[in-house]
Chains A and B, each alone.
Chain A
Amino acid sequence: KNQVEQSPQSLIILEGKNCTLQCNYTVSPFSNLRWYKQDTGRGPVSLTIMTFSENTKSNGRYTATLDADTKQSSLHITASQLSDSASYICVVRSNTGKLIFGQGTTLQVKP
């Protein structure tokens, strides 16, 4: 069964600290993996998209990693800011074009 599981479910960190969010998937055949940031009551915004051959991709303070062998991805946020408070969703696309969404990790950055 195609599944995407994210951990932790929620996370609270202090401003300026780093954090890492995890995403494990069982989607096969795999096409790409995306990380989205979703502010409360808003649509998701793309952070990174990674294909099978990519191991690391950065977008500012966001760095995503992908291990296609173990089917794991992580999103590392460096020097967190209050505006990073949001839900982070891992989405895996299969070769059939179907998107499988993780449940998301809710991040709260406190001053």
Chain B
Amino acid sequence: GAVVSQHPSRVICKSGTSVKIECRSLDFQATTMFWYRQFPKKSLMLMATSNEGSKATYEQGVEKDKFLINHASLTLSTLTVTSAHPEDSSFYICSARSGTGNTIYFGEGSWLTVV
């Protein structure tokens, strides 16, 4: 079945550096991908919607210059956390919508720790 892969699954970075998380749809083309952030014991919080070939749509309160999203191809979207701060430490999850539009698959998530 369809699979969405995220990489890396865990990353530790120093404050002030940038870190990139990749989200790939492995066996289907995803015109739309979504990026979420999840705090411990909380539900997923949508950060932005990533559309292939166009600018991402950010949810209210999410800094687009802080969380750079690029959806350069139909199978890859990237989230770059710039000038990382310890408060950016979180679990980041992506999802992708298949061509039929009704099915959404989630990636395995990426743990980011900023020290």
Contacts and interface: CB of A to CB of B under 8 A. Distances in A.
Interface of A is mostly: strand
B106 A103 contact: no
Residue of B44, B91, B102 with most chain A CB atoms under a 10 A cut-off? B44
A89 interface: yes
B103 to A, nearest CB: 7
Given A103-B42, A106-B41, A43 B104 contact: no
Interface residues of A, number: 17
A101 interface: yes
A44 B109 CA distance: 9
Contact of B104 (A42, A99, A104, A106): A99
B102 A89 contact: no
B101 to A, nearest CB: 8
Contacts of A101: 43-46
A79 interface: no
